[in-house]
Structure 1
Amino acid sequence: MKKPNFIIIYADDLGFGDLGCYGASGIPTPNLDKMAQEGQRFNNAYATAATCTPSRYSLLTGCYPWRNPRAKILQGDAPMIIGKDERTLPGTLKEAGYRSAVIGKWHIGLGDGKINWNGEIHPTPLDVGFDESYIMAATNDRVPCVYVDGRTVENLDPSDPLEVYYGGENPFPEVPTGKDNPELLRMSHSDAQHYDTIVNGVGRIGFCRGGKAAEWDDETMTDIFLERSKDFITRNRDNPFFLYYALHQPHVPRIPSPRFAGSTEKGPRGDVIAELDWCVGEVLAHLKAEGIDEDTIVVFSSDNGPVIDDGYLDQAGELCGDHKPAGPLRGGKYSLFDGGTRVPMILRAPGRVAPGENSALISHADFLASFATMAGVTIPRSETADSLDMSAQLQGLEPVGRDNLVTEGFGTKTVVRQGNWVYIPPHEGPPMMESKGIETGNLMSPQLYDLGTDIGQRANVAEKHPDIVAALDALLEEIHGETIPDGHRNA
């Protein structure tokens, strides 16, 4: 059998309960539901963090984010946080002759200091293993709101240079902001972050000036990333490839294309999830049209759990109704509870992987070692970081997954799961993130939950099982104390 192609379609802030195949009924997701019927649907798959930058770092490096002090939510002009000598998933697959591309959201940093947006940018994804890169620099709620094609900002007019600023008062008083010019907004902000420079009628985080010809149009972003992805697939159909297709939905600001605006009863959040589902269907149909459907392993998942209000007033809360984005889980994005990191995950590979429900315990950090095995690449254990070979489990050939995994909430506050036990050690901080309406999981006493009987983590049984608390606390300390793996020391 020939080497499989790999595609990871990574949603942004999609919850465990947001898809029909995971029990949702309020938002139509026919393509993902069909994908789940035809593939493996995972019940115990985890992103490594409850926020985007750390989880995306782990996805590509196999390294837990708390090992890298720079792996935290990044500003739009932050430097690259993947070390120049760090082993990555695309770099590893390149050893087996794969071509690779990242298309969509990046948010792992660019450059090595102050970025010259008007010249060539070094480093970019091209310096950490990817052969092609077409990305937004950070997130759709942060400036600069431009596409970076390879090493340069696309469509930039040299006579209108782009300047970006974070870290203080607005240095460009002539440029309208959401704070000072609310009358120019098409979408109001709900916090004191999302009211800086206005782009396309939306206040963003950070300040920028110039580069008007290069600004993206939020309403066409979906089609641009999708067509780029299809083109990469077509050009590489005769050779093994890896595509990291990083969706921006349903991250804020939620601005669907006109074809999906108003398509659900759940407002913009529901609309962009329906749009996300359509994108998945388009990719799967394109693989079939190109005749490589059975040669391609497609994984769909999310970088962290859901959030309703993340900075803009878009009626997501009012229109949510009975829909529960985290499903039966407690918490959401930013949370130490399972709702922050336990995410939907589906793997489809017709002719290679039989359909079924999969309960193996899996971390997104495992893609590095697992895809390497499936591609025939041997990696020294000293270079796989925290990634474990779960290739058999991903293909439904082995029901038992990891013995344990570590996740983090907001910042580097960590949690350990072993079997059905989840241990949250004492963490300082407020119990609620009031601005988001999400429980953080912070408590100054130990928390222990048995997911076998309490998937919603409502009954803290730490006092009843002090022996298990002690054992899991020791396990977490042991994992924290492990030597940083080779190849990740310069991260």
Structure 2
Amino acid sequence: MKKTTIFLLGTSFGLTMLDGAKAQKQIETPNILLIYLDDLGYGDMSAYGFSSLETPNMDKIANEGVRFVNGYATSATSTPSRYGLLTGIYPWRQSGVKILRGNDSMLIDKEQMTLARMLKQQGYRTGIVGKWHLGLGDDNSDLDWNAKLTASPNDLGFDYSYIMAATQDRVPTIYIRNGEVVNLNSENPIYVDYEKKIDGCVNVEDHPEKMIMHWSHGHNNSIVNGIPRIGYMKGGDEAIWDDYDLADNFLKEAENFILNNDNQDTPFFLFYAMHQPHVPRTPHPRFEGLSGMGPRGDAILEADWCIGDILKLLKEEGVLENTLIIFSSDNGPVLDDGYHDNAVEMLGDHKPFGDLRGGKYSLYEAGTRVPLLTYWKGITGPKVSEALVSQVDIFASLACLTGSSEKAIDSQNMLDVFLGRSDNGRKNLMIESQFNKAYRSEGWVLIPPHKGRNFLKKKGIETGISNEYQLYNIIKDPGQKLNLAKSKTKVLKKMINEYESLK
């Protein structure tokens, strides 16, 4: 691995080159593995104490590293949280950052500094495997799936990319390697449309008998592999993925990226963006029934197994001690997100939301407070940290770790905190959901008035939207049961002023 020398000094972590006699431990620049799950809730892994599932490999990272109880995504939905993670910028600062369709153009400008580009400049070999959902192609051209894409992760600092275009429930249902569709047959071209039905495509309206999985809301367009999707797709039969092999295929690609390092002095950065437990939940048949709570629980166990296999590989290759692992989720949990899969009926005593209120799509805590773990064998933990941290801080923290001078407007250097050497986290944080915002300052959470629905009936989730101010003491009341806006007027005024200043 790259011979950049860093020193650990007792309770602080610094990049300043110091006299060797003062250093307690000398290390090499680490590989960086960012494991990012999709819709995994605060209570979905057993280490947080709310789960009836056993997730031993996630727990290994949690129990031997730093487990954050106040770790946040920037948004309660997928595309915005990924934007914040990769750019170090709050997603609400950029127009058009919303949940994207499968044929929307790439949100991040090709010239924008990203986490991958910054690490590549520092000598890292960079890769992404799994879910992308930040758009593809230029905004000034029609997206042509039958030619090399005009914009892809490879234009944002990733040396290698093997991704799905958006989400598993959206078309096109294809793998894309380095900007080109895998196994595309030019004689069977791909057509995608999100506005109107494509003549000749297999769809819910014309062929309901083709469904092997049934939709509950929103997923009533094309049917691919017996699963109804969002959007219409025709053609590309040879390129279409097998839903039940997604996890195995992405795992193989992630492990090949780790193994295929021609220059062993070059550290790697891998963004392993897993699709579980997002809908449609299609764990491999070998995991079917293992959780006792249906496909959602089985998908979480499948994800845990994949993580265990990655950890095993790192150990076998002798690089586990020199790999910083960051683990989190893009947003909070949702049970019924568009398919009838018994996620609600078979939940039992499992608590994916933990002791928090809300969930995916919500301004309440369960929308954005997610599992967040860091693990660097021999360096971090074991520690449970109450420091306030956000995924948006990963940019500045890894810049500090690798000696980069790059900065991002909303990213704060939390390297000491992420490595468990300090408890001095953020003082405040802005989060969002569906263009609405909430504000946390130390132990208080402010939700300003917003227009919209306060409850998503089909999804069973409170949005946090109200026409009145909401103020919660999040330390004493993590479930946000008692609105103190009318009794804590001084605190409310202070929070409003801070929120408006930051906004």
TM-score scaled by length of structure 2: 0.93
1:359-374 → structure 2 map (5 Å cutoff): 359-374=386-401
Tell me if 1:395 matches 2:419.
yes
Q: What whole-Å deviation, never above 9, does each CA across 1:217-238 have from its counterpart, x for those lacking one?
A: 0111101100111111112354
Aligned residue number for residue 61 of structure 1: 87
Tell me if 1:317 matches 2:340.
no
Shift of 1:179: 3.1
Tell me if 1:446 matches 2:469.
yes
Shift of 1:354: 2.6
Alpha-carbon separation, structure 2, partners of 1:354 and 1:415: 31
Amino acid at match of 2:186: P
Tell me if 1:212 matches 2:212.
no
8 Å contact 1:111–1:124 — kept in the other structure? Answer: yes
Tell me if 1:292 matches 2:316.
no
Aligned residue number for residue 161 of structure 2: 133
Aligned residue number for residue 11 of structure 2: none
1:337-376 → structure 2 map (5 Å cutoff): 337-376=364-403
8 Å contact 2:388–2:425 — kept in the other structure? Answer: yes
Alpha-carbon separation, structure 2, partners of 1:415 and 1:340: 11
8 Å contact 2:198–2:234 — kept in the other structure? Answer: no
Aligned residue number for residue 406 of structure 1: 430
Amino acid at match of 1:223: D
Specify which structure has the bigger relative contact order, considering alpha-carbon pairs within 8 angstroms and separated by 6 or more residues: 1
Tell me if 1:267 matches 2:294.
yes
Residue of 20, 39, 42 corresponding to 2:65: 39
Q: What whole-Å deviation, never above 9, does each CA across 1:145-202 have from its counterpart, x for those lacking one?
A: 00000011000000000011012x3132x222123322111110001x2011111100
TM-score scaled by length of structure 1: 0.95
Tell me if 1:143 matches 2:167.
no
Q: What whole-Å deviation, never above 9, does each CA across 1:455-489 have from its counterpart, x for those lacking one?
A: 10000001111121121111111112xxxxxxxxx
Query: Which stretch has the larger CA shift, 370-379 or 178-187?
Result: 178-187
- SS of the residue corresponding to residue 346 of structure 1 reads strand
Aligned residue number for residue 6 of structure 2: none
Shift of 1:25: 3.6
Q: Which residues of structure 1 form unaligned runs of 5+?
A: 481-491
Alpha-carbon separation, structure 2, partners of 1:328 and 1:114: 45
Aligned residue number for residue 472 of structure 1: 495
Residue of 360, 379, 386 corresponding to 2:410: 386
**How many percent of aligned residue pairs carry the same amino acid?**
48
Alpha-carbon separation, structure 2, partners of 1:68 and 1:24: 35
Alpha-carbon separation, structure 2, partners of 1:180 and 1:471: 57
Aligned residue number for residue 92 of structure 1: 118
Alpha-carbon separation, structure 2, partners of 1:24 and 1:459: 22
Alpha-carbon separation, structure 2, partners of 1:361 and 1:429: 29
Alpha-carbon separation, structure 1, partners of 2:468 and 2:486: 10
Alpha-carbon separation, structure 2, partners of 1:253 and 1:218: 9
Aligned residue number for residue 186 of structure 2: 158
Shift of 1:84: 2.0
Q: What whole-Å deviation, never above 9, does each CA across 1:371-411 have from its counterpart, x for those lacking one?
A: 111111122xxx412101000000011112001010002x2
Report how many aligned residue pairs link the two structures.
Answer: 473
Q: Which residues of structure 2 form unaligned runs of 5+?
A: 1-26
Aligned residue number for residue 7 of structure 2: none
8 Å contact 1:105–1:248 — kept in the other structure? Answer: yes
Shift of 1:24: 2.9
Aligned residue number for residue 170 of structure 1: 197
Alpha-carbon separation, structure 1, partners of 2:265 and 2:302: 29
Shift of 1:452: 1.3
8 Å contact 1:26–1:266 — kept in the other structure? Answer: no
Amino acid at match of 1:201: G
Amino acid at match of 1:378: S
Tell me if 1:6 matches 2:36.
no
Shift of 1:425: 0.3
- SS of the residue corresponding to residue 464 of structure 1 reads coil
Alpha-carbon separation, structure 2, partners of 1:114 and 1:358: 47
Tell me if 1:233 matches 2:258.
yes
Alpha-carbon separation, structure 1, partners of 2:415 and 2:142: 40
Shift of 1:75: 0.5
Q: Which runs of 4+ in 1 moved over 3 A?
A: none
